[in-house]
Structure 1
Amino acid sequence: MTSTNLLVVGVWNTFVEGDNLDVMTGLDAGSTDLVYADPPYNTGNDFAYADRFRTTRGGLAGRHRAWLEMMRPRLEQVHRVLSPEGAVFVSIDDHEGARLRLLMDEVLGEENFLAQVVVNLNPKGRQLGRGFATDHEYLLVYARDARRCALDASSPDAVDPDDFPEVAADGRRFRHLPLRNTNKKFNPRTAPTLHFPVHGDPDGGRVALDPFPGSVEVRPVFGDGAPAVWRWSRPLIAARPDDLVCREIRGLRGPRVDVFQRDWLERPGGRRKKLRTIWHAAEVGSTDTAVAEVKELVGHVFESPKPTGLLRRILRTMPSDARVLDPFAGSGTTGHAVALANLEDGGSRQCLSVNSAEPVRPGSHAEHAGLATVADVTRARLRAVAERLGGGFEER
């Protein structure tokens, strides 16, 4: 993948101060592989910066309308700059989550919706105010073109070794999976080439295509005795007989002989598992850990950053040379995460972070630290990341 027209070749982090709509309008079409956006949630509160969209008419409905009017042209630009294989992740909470989902369906296409992930960023729950102690927000995930998207919604981090309780003589861990296909959509009528007998020894465990001394014929059946099919073809069984085992089991109709696959924890190329759509703070970090990350680099200058663990999980769903755009860069978490991810896997990701010169809240930690705008916060963190982790930093 090549870099965008604002990225500096070989530099991991580039920063642009300005209105993100103007900046994205100047980017080449298809020049970005991954967009992460953390827009204002329109909560009506002020933190390090203002998070409210005022209108002179319309009350609450007018405020929602003003927020959507801000978001629509920016999402249209996100759609334009995404490569055909690209994807976008947008953080949001319940204030505008439903409206954002409809807007993204309209701009990016309902057919390109990939997931709505629940992210547990505040495991203690918010104790202020009335009602429930909210402990989550959302990630809305869309592809530029779902048929061509490079996103891999799996991760080695999702693999739990405890799911592999068996231990082979050489110390390798595995689990037994039925060789028969347990989905009744696959049966002798829909997959006739996968319905055939094999031969196995339930005492010794050996499995083969042809009979051998001590073997019995085994045909795939469902628990109720209906004919089933194998998951493996004849050639695959012939090539990997040592990964199969014959066992006697207790079925619904009493004991019967069946064939199982030894599914190894370690496999060539590494094992990955599909990511679930609830991400816990223990896995991706919390708002508290995110504040600590910023504080360790540049001081306590941002009250509600995202944790780098969340962004690193997002980054790992895309190729390691992805061109990344964060149009609402905030404290600079995405750029920080890009540097960490590149160090972890030797990747060559590049990140373009954009932030406006919006003044920080009077009396905030950022103001006391001498940072007058949110862009100053982003700039300070990305410079510190380059000094601490490498990868360079350029401002355009």
Structure 2
Amino acid sequence: MSKLTKEQELLNEIEKLQKQLEIANNRVKTAKYGLVWMDVPEAFEEESENQLPVLEEVNEKAIKNDDSKPTHILIEGDNYHALTCLNYTHKEKIDLIYIDPPYNTGKDGFTYKDKRIIDRFPDGTAVPKDHPLRHSYWLSFMFKRIELAKGLLKDTGKIVVSIDDNELANLVLILSKVFGDSNQVAILPTIMNLKGNQDQFGFAGTHEYTVVYAKDISKCKFNEFELDEVEMEKWQEDEIGFFKKGAPMRATGEEDKREDRAEMFYPILIKDDFASTITKEEHSRIYNKETKTFDDNYLSELILKYENVGFEVVLPMSGDDYGRWRWGFSENNRKRLITDVIISRTNNGISLYKKQRPELNEIPSRKPKSLFYKPEYSSGNGTAQIKDILGSRAFKNPKPVELIKDLISVSTNNSAIILDFFAGSGTTLQACLELNKIDFNLQNIICTNDEGNICTEVTYPRCKKAITGYKNSKNRIVEPLGNSLKYYKTSFVGKNNILSASDEDKSLLAHKAGYLLAIAENTLNEIEATQFFQFFENSEKVTAVYFKEEMDEMNTFLEKVEAVQKPISLYLFSWGNSSDFEGLFDHIPNLTIKTIPQPILEIYKNIYNIISA
């Protein structure tokens, strides 16, 4: 190896170290919160800094419906790169971010592409799954992505994250570091398994958590649930709490006679609108367990005894025969007669009903409660839903659609843009589709990689079936939900890092930026593409892009722009922030001119902390 080559290698290494130091210095300047962990660089970071991320459409996977409903966006690729692109296309445009990231349980398949040590310490020894370093992996992984995501939110926007005990504390600290602890809205225990997971140590786990932060809590608001007033009127309140009229105290059905359950036959005594009953000794004399006979003469004596001191006596009747109560005779039930019985008087006499106490979250409330629960939130429902669509349990622990629908409904408006950059099985998109079936007009952007073929075998097929309709696991036809979908993949251009982008790199970025621009303008339908320009449209406007420095096709491009009848967003190639050819379009009304690729580069530079603070 020549001396010159060695010197060049050293210079390259020094340049790399200087760049890393500059990034570290910038992060130190902006650090505001006291969470510290061993930051572990990801394997792709250096490659990403030396190439420029773009999006390319996969035309054959587009789904189009002419139903005037939104067109959703699916991005296949690492969400780090997808978020980088979205920082150009959707900066401060997102109303709500919902994510269900890896829980880092050691069993959920979370792996971190560590470019320095992979799964071993520097001395070569393996890193155990339960080693604290795995939390550093997770923190490094999540912090980068949440930091990128913050810039996408409107000032009124929120981020909602599902998580469990493994990383709850770390997640809250990350979100507080990025958004500020004053913007924490709620940490909601979310009941996913009401019976409890019996395999957990010490306590049977019933819940996960939903963590909610606002970008600016002073500017955001939350919605309330629709309340069924008729249902609410059924509930009353006593000294114990809420109750409503439940089942009759008298047993019904096939085994409703006193002979069926002798211990459940006894008089109930009513006085001053309170219920009580006879003594334990008196109850023991009504029925002889040895002879299995009832002493009705003694029963008559008891009735007379209590009527003489002002009690009304109620017996359970089954037609003309004696029946039985639903409650057995016990000390606990004697107390319940005082607190948990409704006495109803009619022309036919006295009827007794149980006071039905509310189950978890059973009492309706307009304002969402800090304990999030509905039976529909069961994790088993999520598994059943994906099995119903795809025919198998193609994804582990998918969230149930009803949970995501409720989180969306209370967190944002009916015409929101919603981002999920851990799309997994595609539940968030299905939730948006179902809400759009009623009175919503939501657009959903979902991002996922294709590790283990998750995008090609789970996310996309589920979304496609939900949009176009399908036969479920019971061979029944499920009607299509409609809407449209565009499918994109992350890609890269260039050979140099962002700070040192050459003219060739910039030219390539301009050439490949068309889909980024179309997404930024929400003009997702490509109507023409040549070696010099592209046209995209939606129902309201057109995006026109001339991405070449050469002017060979500018006259043709100008003629096509002049023929457009809609408002136009026009992008022209330029080495700076303005173009020498803007004057060619001065005579065209309803036209806005922008340049490429410099504005894209500036955003990318900011993302990678390369611009000095």
Please, what TM-score do these two structures have when normalized by structure 1?
A: 0.63
- Which secondary structure state, in structure 1, belongs to the residue aligned with residue 132 of structure 2? helix
Which whole-Å CA distance do the structure 2 matches of 1:375 and 1:163 have between them?
49
| Compared CA separation, residues 157 and 353, structure 1 to 2 (3 A) | farther
Aligned residue identity for 1:381:
R
Indicate which of 370, 377, 380 corresponds to 1:285: 377
1:56 aligns with 2:120: yes
- Which secondary structure state, in structure 1, belongs to the residue aligned with residue 451 of structure 2? coil
Indicate which of 49, 70, 84 corresponds to 1:11: 70
- Which secondary structure state, in structure 2, belongs to the residue aligned with residue 65 of structure 1? helix
2:463 matched to which residue of 1?
A: 382
| Compared CA separation, residues 165 and 66, structure 1 to 2 (3 A) | closer
- Which secondary structure state, in structure 2, belongs to the residue aligned with residue 34 of structure 1? strand
1:124 aligns with 2:195: yes
2:406 matched to which residue of 1?
A: 313
> Is 1:358–1:375's contact at 8 Å kept on the other side of the alignment?
no
1:109 matched to which residue of 2?
A: 180
Which whole-Å CA distance do the structure 2 matches of 1:149 and 1:159 have between them?
27
> Is 1:327–1:354's contact at 8 Å kept on the other side of the alignment?
yes
| Compared CA separation, residues 160 and 355, structure 1 to 2 (3 A) | farther
1:394 aligns with 2:465: no
1:24 aligns with 2:24: no
1:43 matched to which residue of 2?
A: 105
| Compared CA separation, residues 26 and 336, structure 1 to 2 (3 A) | same
| Compared CA separation, residues 120 and 157, structure 1 to 2 (3 A) | farther
- Which secondary structure state, in structure 2, belongs to the residue aligned with residue 33 of structure 1? strand
CA-to-aligned-CA distance 1:112-156 (integer Å, 9 cap, x gap): 11111111112222223533221110011011111111432x211
> Is 2:226–2:366's contact at 8 Å kept on the other side of the alignment?
yes
- Which secondary structure state, in structure 2, belongs to the residue aligned with residue 279 of structure 1? coil
Which whole-Å CA distance do the structure 2 matches of 1:132 and 1:55 have between them?
32
Q: Which has the higher contact order (CA 8 A, sep 6+)?
A: 1
**Alignment map for 1:78-117 (pairs within 5 Å):** 78-117=149-188
**Alignment map for 1:135-154 (pairs within 5 Å):** 135-152=206-223, 154=224
| Compared CA separation, residues 131 and 385, structure 1 to 2 (3 A) | same
> Is 1:12–1:339's contact at 8 Å kept on the other side of the alignment?
no
> Is 1:55–1:63's contact at 8 Å kept on the other side of the alignment?
no
> Is 1:37–1:327's contact at 8 Å kept on the other side of the alignment?
yes
CA-CA distance at 1:14 after TM superposition? 1.9
Which whole-Å CA distance do the structure 1 matches of 2:231 and 2:454 have between them?
46
1:351 aligns with 2:410: no
CA-to-aligned-CA distance 1:269-300 (integer Å, 9 cap, x gap): xx971110111241x42111111111111122
CA-to-aligned-CA distance 1:7-44 (integer Å, 9 cap, x gap): 99943432110111111111131021100010000000
Name which one, 1 or 2, has greater alpha-carbon Rg: 2
Which whole-Å CA distance do the structure 1 matches of 2:228 and 2:149 have between them?
29
> Is 1:323–1:351's contact at 8 Å kept on the other side of the alignment?
yes
CA-CA distance at 1:56 after TM superposition? 2.6
Which whole-Å CA distance do the structure 2 matches of 1:98 and 1:159 have between them?
39
- Which secondary structure state, in structure 1, belongs to the residue aligned with residue 222 of structure 2? coil
CA-to-aligned-CA distance 1:333-379 (integer Å, 9 cap, x gap): 000000111112x21101011100111xxxxxxxxxxxx33453110
1:329 aligns with 2:423: yes
Which whole-Å CA distance do the structure 1 matches of 2:422 and 2:228 have between them?
28
Which whole-Å CA distance do the structure 2 matches of 1:36 and 1:358 have between them?
21
| Compared CA separation, residues 297 and 114, structure 1 to 2 (3 A) | same
Which whole-Å CA distance do the structure 2 matches of 1:21 and 1:379 have between them?
20
Which whole-Å CA distance do the structure 1 matches of 2:197 and 2:449 have between them?
29
Which whole-Å CA distance do the structure 1 matches of 2:194 and 2:219 have between them?
36
CA-CA distance at 1:83 after TM superposition? 0.8
1:342 matched to which residue of 2?
A: 436
CA-to-aligned-CA distance 1:228-265 (integer Å, 9 cap, x gap): xxxxxxxxxxxxxxxxxxxxxxxxxxxxxxxxxxxxxx
Indicate which of 225, 238, 243 corresponds to 1:155: 225
CA-to-aligned-CA distance 1:184-232 (integer Å, 9 cap, x gap): xxxxxxxxxxxxxxxxxxxxxxxxxxxxxxxxxxxxxxxxxxxxxxxxx
Aligned residue identity for 1:23:
A
- Which secondary structure state, in structure 1, belongs to the residue aligned with residue 458 of structure 2? helix
| Compared CA separation, residues 165 and 71, structure 1 to 2 (3 A) | closer
Aligned residue identity for 1:75:
I
Count of residue pairs brought into register by the alignment = 270
1:373 matched to which residue of 2?
A: 454
- Which secondary structure state, in structure 2, belongs to the residue aligned with residue 90 of structure 1? strand
**Alignment map for 1:213-362 (pairs within 5 Å):** 273-282=366-375, 284-300=376-392, 301-317=394-410, 318-344=412-438, 346-359=439-452
CA-CA distance at 1:164 after TM superposition? 6.0
**Alignment map for 1:168-247 (pairs within 5 Å):** none
- Which secondary structure state, in structure 2, belongs to the residue aligned with residue 117 of structure 1? strand
- Which secondary structure state, in structure 2, belongs to the residue aligned with residue 304 of structure 1? coil
> Is 2:69–2:482's contact at 8 Å kept on the other side of the alignment?
no
- Which secondary structure state, in structure 2, belongs to the residue aligned with residue 290 of structure 1? helix
- Which secondary structure state, in structure 2, belongs to the residue aligned with residue 354 of structure 1? strand
Which whole-Å CA distance do the structure 1 matches of 2:190 and 2:217 have between them?
23
Which whole-Å CA distance do the structure 2 matches of 1:42 and 1:373 have between them?
18
Structure 2 alignment gaps of length 5 or more: 1-56, 113-117, 122-126, 237-363, 469-479, 489-613
| Compared CA separation, residues 280 and 134, structure 1 to 2 (3 A) | same
- Which secondary structure state, in structure 2, belongs to the residue aligned with residue 99 of structure 1? helix
Which whole-Å CA distance do the structure 1 matches of 2:103 and 2:141 have between them?
12
Which whole-Å CA distance do the structure 2 matches of 1:12 and 1:157 have between them?
31
| Compared CA separation, residues 390 and 69, structure 1 to 2 (3 A) | same
| Compared CA separation, residues 32 and 56, structure 1 to 2 (3 A) | same
1:226 matched to which residue of 2?
A: none
- Which secondary structure state, in structure 1, belongs to the residue aligned with residue 73 of structure 2? strand
| Compared CA separation, residues 330 and 63, structure 1 to 2 (3 A) | same
- Identify, as 1 or 2, the structure richer in helix: 2
Which whole-Å CA distance do the structure 1 matches of 2:484 and 2:433 have between them?
9
Aligned residue identity for 1:155:
F
Please, what TM-score do these two structures have when normalized by structure 2?
A: 0.42
Aligned residue identity for 2:106:
G
> Is 2:214–2:220's contact at 8 Å kept on the other side of the alignment?
yes
> Is 2:76–2:455's contact at 8 Å kept on the other side of the alignment?
no
